[in-house]
């Protein structure tokens, strides 16, 4: 179908008007800047070719959009115009040529400035006092946003110095710095709030809130770049000196402003700012060139919506539209499951982008991103590209809402979302290749298995080379493999080692380590494979140092085979299980075999373990890969637990079917109702055999009885309850009848350590206090029994004093420990 120029012009005007209204009135981005600019340039070209089709209400003759009715309307004494755009060096050269010819000057000076990507505003000062602020609106009329502008710390309420005009309008840009934008969005994601699309929309949306308190919560900034109405005084005769004068009166002016001459000066400035763009604290989408002297500006005059003496030289767009071809899950080193959009490749800010983060499932739901959608992708600086919005009117028929997969695409373990959390994570941990390096690094750390000498770069190379695939493989490492690893990684110039290859093949296959590190490639894969399978000759001293390291590491690995239960539990890297929780688990349950097969409700019998930690433990031990990793440690790695003991007699206290029902967090089941239910069903083979009527007869309200029946019918719940009941009976059989004696003079007390101790380390002090029965916490509260304060104690000491918590100095601690040795 052939489209006439009139039809195309009409379609372009409607599309541009819609995009303008969405952006200026609702702070929504329907199409990216690059698409908007392309449509506008097409419309300008058509109107020039067909002047009979031009109209006074065309978007080519307008600035912005009409002001919102939500705000009081402000008429600008001097119109706030827009700028023409240049996208090439040739267009900049034409701009300079036109001015030079018009003014008959061979050399023309320009003020060159960064073009901030924010919201243009006008600030009115009378007698040096800020009285009104307005948005640009349609250029003639804007919105009164004075109350919101007063929340911006960069905008002076009273001018500094002296000599300002009686009436002064300052024009500038309100923007949100990148760091403030990212911080706001991160808080929004964590709290399930609305995520802002980009810093420009963030600034516009924040400034146009009806409640100034909301604007105050969103950190906005301001740069001045010009003036409007001036009465009762004069400004300097050049734009650059005017900016200096504004700075003297208290306005922030960009330090990147400069005065340059001619086309080459402008282009050099453009390239310099372009190279610095990614490192700036704020977004810019180009630079602005303004004829510097005001007399020349007046001589050049204006066109319909822009001055002839200024132009914006645009950078490659940081936002583009493209299509979502797939949504996949990427598993991070800590197990975080992040959805990633696979995109039809598109150039964004000079880089080809084919992947973009979607942050989390909640963000996908808010944006309603679907496979097949046309979306706007943003890339600013070094920030990972992200999908910021969906172009809804381009959605193809038949698309389906996206759902988070139930299992990890890497290891197959369950993907879980903790209660009250936004993020999802793979529960495979030890068995998940995506988490392998992090899991091994944690396992070997000082507070875990304490394999001294096995640092991050060694772990990374061993994993990349395929030598270590899990924590148990650490116990298979040979001295020769470690020696080769050390020699290669400590070489100052690994690529130069190719000349030192010996013709003999190593007996232990350690060339794989070499392959991962050197990454040599002579263009002959056969040569590479052969060369990397050969040992290297080093100096005697280098090899001596490496040998000592390898021998020490082998000894550390061997020593770690004998471990306490709490160290091993902490080393497994279970989410939410720190040293304190691992210690409590070891003390209360005593045996790894019991702990690893315990249904999650029973973990809540340990003080300070709530539902979130208990479910995390349950999820970890439910994964077959994690169970296999533990088997490998015990059988292949021959790790031995040195302090296992029967479950604590304290577990007997209150452990019965009624308490089990409460710990299972069944909706509506309180302790009292659970006791009635357990008593009524004491003769039944199992609670699973009971029906709704029996629950009512046991004293449950009808809705609670129905809820219990529905809970039991839900997949896995009944089996969980049966397993928990069986394990409860096992614990009751194995736990001693008598509770242990009090652990020591500090049994039941909570201590906090702060500052530096001179006679012993914090770790040693913690161990000795715990040996006397104390719980050592990381923060001070009303429940804290005492605080031990060393030198340079900080906020914890202050809080203890404000709460009236007893404070010991180091001498008191040492005296107490000596008295109870």
Residues marked active site are found at: 115
C-alpha 190/C-alpha 421 separation (Å) is: 8
Structure tokens at 326: 């797939």
Q: Is position 725 annotated in a ligand binding site?
A: no
Structure tokens at 241: 């000196």
Nearest C-alpha neighbor of 602 from the set 711, 725, 713, 712: 725
DSSP code for 205: H
Contact 356, 326 (CB under 8 A): no
Q: Is position 136 annotated in a ligand binding site?
A: yes
Torsion, CA 641, CA 642, CA 644, CA 645, rounded to 10: 170
Angle at the Cα of 645 from the Cα atoms of 641 and 648, rounded to 5 degrees:
135
The pairing of beta strand 775-777 with beta strand 750-754: parallel
C-alpha 704/C-alpha 670 separation (Å) is: 10
C-alpha 467/C-alpha 441 separation (Å) is: 15
Please provide the DSSP assignment of 30-89 as one string. Answer: SS-HHHHHHHHHHHHHHHHH-GGG--TTSGGG--S-PPPTTS-EEE-SS-----EEE-SH
- Count the residues in the chain: 821
What residues pair up with 122 in beta bridges, in sequence order? 134, 171
Q: Is position 159 annotated in a ligand binding site?
A: no
C-alpha 123/C-alpha 80 separation (Å) is: 12
Q: Which residue has 């000498």 as its token pair?
A: 453
Q: Is position 448 annotated in a ligand binding site?
A: no
Question: Up-side HSE of residue 363: CA atoms within 13 Å toward CB?
Answer: 25
Contact 314, 308 (CB under 8 A): no
C-alpha 436/C-alpha 334 separation (Å) is: 9
Nearest C-alpha neighbor of 32 from the set 474, 534, 377, 314: 377
Torsion, CA 224, CA 227, CA 231, CA 237, rounded to 10: 110
C-alpha 259/C-alpha 191 separation (Å) is: 46
Specify the long-range contacts of residues 478-482, CB closer than 8 Å, at least 24 apart. Answer: 478/508, 479/550, 479/551, 479/554, 480/506, 480/507, 480/508, 480/510, 481/508, 481/510, 481/513, 482/549, 482/550, 482/553, 482/554
C-alpha 415/C-alpha 336 separation (Å) is: 9
Q: Is position 34 annotated in a ligand binding site?
A: yes
Q: Is position 257 annotated in a ligand binding site?
A: no
Question: Up-side HSE of residue 121: CA atoms within 13 Å toward CB?
Answer: 28
C-alpha 191/C-alpha 176 separation (Å) is: 20
Q: Is position 425 annotated in a ligand binding site?
A: no
Contact 553, 453 (CB under 8 A): yes
**What is the layout of strands, in order, in the sheet containing 284-291?**
84-86, 310-314, 284-291, 109-116, 258-261
Q: Is position 188 annotated in a ligand binding site?
A: no
Nearest C-alpha neighbor of 484 from the set 537, 541, 525, 406: 537
Q: Is position 314 annotated in a ligand binding site?
A: yes
Q: Is position 173 annotated in a ligand binding site?
A: yes
Torsions phi, psi for 297 (to 5 deg): -60, -45
Annotated binding site for NAD(+): 33-37, 82-83, 113, 136, 173, 290, 314
Annotated binding site: 33-37, 82-83, 113, 136, 173, 290, 314, 408, 411, 426, 432
Annotated binding site for Zn(2+): 408, 411, 426, 432
């Amino acid at each position: 179908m052939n489209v006439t120029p009139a039809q195309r012009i009409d379609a372009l005007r409607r599309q541009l008007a819609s995009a303008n209204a969405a952006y200026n009135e609702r702070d929504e981005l329907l199409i990216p800047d690059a698409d908007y600019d392309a449509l506008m340039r097409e419309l300008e070209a058509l109107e020039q070719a067909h002047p009979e089709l031009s109209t006074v209400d065309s978007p080519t003759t307008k600035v912005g959009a009409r002001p919102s009715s939500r705000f009081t309307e402000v008429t600008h004494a001097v119109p706030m115009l827009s700028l023409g755009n240049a996208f090439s060096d040739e267009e900049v050269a034409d701009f300079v040529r036109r001015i030079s010819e018009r003014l008959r000057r061979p050399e023309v000076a320009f003020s060159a400035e960064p073009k901030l990507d924010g919201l243009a505003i006008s600030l009115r000062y009378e007698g040096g006092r800020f009285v009104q602020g307005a948005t640009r609106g349609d250029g003639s009329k804007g919105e009164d946003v004075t109350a919101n502008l007063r929340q911006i710390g960069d905008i002076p309420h009273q001018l500094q110095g002296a000599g300002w005009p009686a009436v002064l309008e300052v024009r500038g840009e309100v923007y949100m710095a990148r760091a403030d934008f990212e911080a706001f969005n991160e808080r929004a994601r964590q709290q399930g709030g609305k995520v802002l699309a980009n810093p420009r929309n963030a600034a516009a949306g924040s400034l146009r809130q009806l409640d100034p308190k909301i604007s105050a919560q969103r950190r906005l900034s301001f740069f001045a770049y010009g003036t409007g109405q001036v009465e009762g005084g004069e400004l300097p005769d050049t734009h650059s000196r005017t900016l200096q004068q504004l700075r003297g009166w208290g306005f922030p002016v960009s330090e990147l402003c400069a005065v340059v001459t001619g086309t080459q000066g402008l282009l050099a400035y453009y390239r310099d700012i372009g190279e610095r763009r990614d490192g700036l604290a704020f977004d810019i989408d180009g630079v602005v060139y303004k004829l510097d002297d005001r007399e020349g500006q007046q001589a050049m005059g204006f066109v319909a919506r822009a001055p002839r003496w200024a132009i914006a030289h645009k950078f490659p767009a940081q936002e583009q539209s493209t299509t979502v071809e797939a949504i996949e899950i990427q598993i991070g080193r800590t197990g975080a499951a992040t959805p990633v959009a696979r995109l039809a490749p598109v150039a964004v800010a000079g880089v080809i982008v084919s992947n973009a983060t979607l942050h989390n499932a909640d963000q996908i739901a808010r944006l309603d991103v679907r496979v097949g959608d046309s979306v706007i992708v943003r890339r600013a600086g070094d920030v990972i590209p992200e999908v910021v919005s969906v172009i809804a009117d381009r959605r193809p028929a038949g698309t389906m809402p996206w759902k988070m997969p139930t299992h990890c695409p890497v290891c197959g373990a369950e993907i879980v979302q903790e209660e009250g959390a936004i993020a999802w994570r793979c529960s495979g941990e030890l068995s998940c290749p995506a988490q392998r390096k992090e899991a091994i690094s944690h396992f070997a750390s000082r507070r875990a298995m304490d394999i001294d000498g096995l640092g991050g770069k060694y772990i990374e190379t061993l994993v990349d080379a395929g030598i270590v695939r899990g924590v148990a493989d650490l116990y298979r490492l040979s001295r020769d493999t470690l020696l080769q690893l050390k020699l290669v990684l400590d070489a100052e110039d690994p690529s130069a080692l190719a000349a030192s290859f010996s013709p003999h093949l190593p007996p232990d296959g350690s060339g794989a380590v070499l392959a991962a590190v050197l990454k040599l490639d002579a263009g002959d894969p056969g040569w590479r494979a052969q060369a990397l399978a050969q040992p290297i000759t080093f100096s005697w001293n280098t090899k001596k140092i490496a040998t000592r390291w390898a021998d020490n590491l082998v000894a550390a690995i061997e020593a770690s085979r004998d471990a306490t239960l709490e160290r091993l539990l902490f080393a497994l890297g279970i989410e939410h299980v720190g040293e304190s929780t691992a210690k409590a688990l070891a003390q209360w349950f005593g045996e790894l075999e019991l702990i690893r097969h315990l249904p999650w409700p029973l973990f809540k019998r340990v003080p300070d373990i709530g539902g979130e930690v208990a479910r995390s433990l349950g999820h970890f031990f439910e994964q077959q890969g994690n169970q296999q990793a533990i088997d490998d440690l015990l059988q292949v790695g021959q790790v031995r637990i040195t302090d296992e003991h029967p479950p604590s007699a304290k577990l007997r206290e209150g452990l019965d079917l009624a308490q089990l029902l409460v710990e299972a967090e069944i909706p509506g089941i309180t302790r009292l109702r659970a006791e009635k239910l357990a008593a009524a069903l004491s003769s039944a083979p199992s609670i699973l055999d009971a029906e709704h009527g029996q629950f009512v007869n046991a004293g449950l309200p009808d809705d609670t009885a129905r809820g219990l029946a529905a809970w039991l019918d839900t997949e896995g719940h009944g089996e969980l309850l049966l397993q928990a009941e069986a394990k409860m009976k096992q614990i009751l059989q194995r736990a001693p009848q008598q509770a242990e004696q009090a652990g020591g003079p500090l049994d039941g007390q909570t201590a906090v350590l702060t500052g530096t101790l001179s006679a012993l380390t914090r770790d040693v002090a913690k161990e000795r206090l715990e040996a006397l029965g104390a719980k050592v916490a990381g923060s001070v509260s009303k429940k804290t029994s005492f605080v031990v304060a060393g030198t340079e104690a900080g906020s914890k000491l202050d809080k203890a004093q404000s709460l009236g918590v007893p404070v010991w100095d180091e001498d008191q601690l040492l005296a107490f420990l000596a008295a109870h040795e």
